[in-house]
Structure 1
Amino acid sequence: MPRFYPNVVTLQPGKAVLAEQRETIDILMKSNLPGRWSVKDSFNTVDLSRRGFDLLFEAHWIRSVMPAAGPSSDIEWQRETKGAAGLPFDDPDFAMFTGRRGFQVVAGGMLYRAEGVVGLSNVVADAADAPAVWRSLTLLAVQTFPRLPLVGYESGRELEAAEAAGFERGDKLRIWVRSKD
């Protein structure tokens, strides 16, 4: 998996699929995955503490619920078309944007269209710019992938910045991490 992405993601809630999710995680635990690996518990229902996992962090799902006002900073945005290996720059459903002041990169974020929504992730911004960066990325998402809901998940100050930019806090999720013994 690319760095900072989970190896396993739960995609459905409910007791009917919980056993299958745990079985899948158990199979991976018996495999020879190197180093640290993680599970995104999308519905806050899979307790992995007894399976040797540590809770990396808890977060909340977020979604954009109102049109964003225009950019309120001097950051200039650019869609990247090439860069680090492993990022799908040639995928029409993927977009990575960087924000610059002059020649210095000061902000960024990634968008990915799938299943009728656009996921916003890896938002980077200084605290003073954070709400404006979230608003700008919302506008870029609307321009890049029109008429689709914008969603993601955040915690801490990033969650506060997203809410200040017009995102609504949703249900909790958890990210679990396990180091190979």
Structure 2
Amino acid sequence: MYPDAVTLEPAVSARSVVRGVDIASPGCSVKDSFADLDLVGDGFEVLFEAQWIHRPAGAPMPEPDAEAAGLEWSEVADAEELAAWEAAFEGGDGSGGDRTFRPALLRDGIVFLAGRADGRIVAGAVASTGGGVVGVSNLFGPAWPGVLGAVCARWPGLDVVGYEHGEDLETAVRAGFTAIGPLRVWLRPNGTGTVLAQ
């Protein structure tokens, strides 16, 4: 779910990125925030490409479709609710063993939003603040209208950012976001520990 490294500026050398991560373990990943790295020679594959998105504070709220209009939105308050949120996020009943989203994440600056229909979580997102913006991630279900309403109510005056691709990008654009630049996520699936390109 989370990369081993994230580039914070463009034109970083592939060598410096690879030196800073554990390539011996399977699943090593890098978020290439500017889509300008070439890690193929180091055994990585492109997991996906996406676009950074931005929505200015005060932009008009999108009209929810019929499915989204009936949802009740609230913040996840405790570990039990977080487990239910994660089960809905994963599309299951929560009976899987390991948790990705630990209760320690329920702290200032990070908010799990849950959209409920008939008391059951059917949509959600994670919102976090930093750098004068609200970052939105991990959306699922018919989420954008409700998420934006909750985010704008909790943090009025802050721009909203994130990244999306495919149909999710189209949905975000319809919700008032603008695509502002590419990013790429790389995965090194084999974990051989051998760097192929120096």
TM-score bracket, normalised by the shorter chain, equals 0.7 to 0.9
| Alignment check: 8 A CA contact 2:50 2:164 kept | yes
- Letter of the aligned partner of 1:12 in structure 2? E
User: Quick one: distance in 2 between partners of 1:89 and 1:99?
Assistant: 19
What secondary structure is seen at the aligned counterpart in 2 of 1:138?
A: helix
Structure 1 residues 71-110: aligned runs within 5 Å: 71=64, 73-82=69-78, 83-84=82-83, 86-110=102-126
- Letter of the aligned partner of 1:48 in structure 2? L
Task: State the shift of 1:26 in Å.
Answer: 2.2
Q: 1:113 to 1:87 in 2, by over 3 A?
A: farther
User: Quick one: distance in 1 between partners of 2:165 and 2:184?
Assistant: 10
What secondary structure is seen at the aligned counterpart in 2 of 1:28?
A: coil
Task: State the shift of 1:96 in Å.
Answer: 0.5
User: Quick one: distance in 1 between partners of 2:139 and 2:15?
Assistant: 30
Aligned length: 166
Tell me if 1:134 matches 2:144.
yes
1:23 alignment partner, one of 13, 16, 19: 16
Moved more, 50-59 or 163-172: 163-172
Aligned residue in 1 for 2:8:
11
Q: TM-score, normalised by structure 1?
A: 0.83
List, as ranges, runs of 4+ consecutive aligned residues in structure 1 with deviation greater than 3 Å.
69-72, 87-90
Aligned residue in 1 for 2:138:
122
Q: Which runs of 5+ in 1 are unaligned?
A: none
Q: Which runs of 5+ in 2 are unaligned?
A: 84-100, 193-198
Tell me if 1:51 matches 2:69.
no
* Structure with higher RCO (Cα < 8 A, 6+ apart): 2
Task: State the shift of 1:41 in Å.
Answer: 0.4
| Alignment check: 8 A CA contact 2:124 2:140 kept | yes
Q: 1:88 to 1:115 in 2, by over 3 A?
A: farther
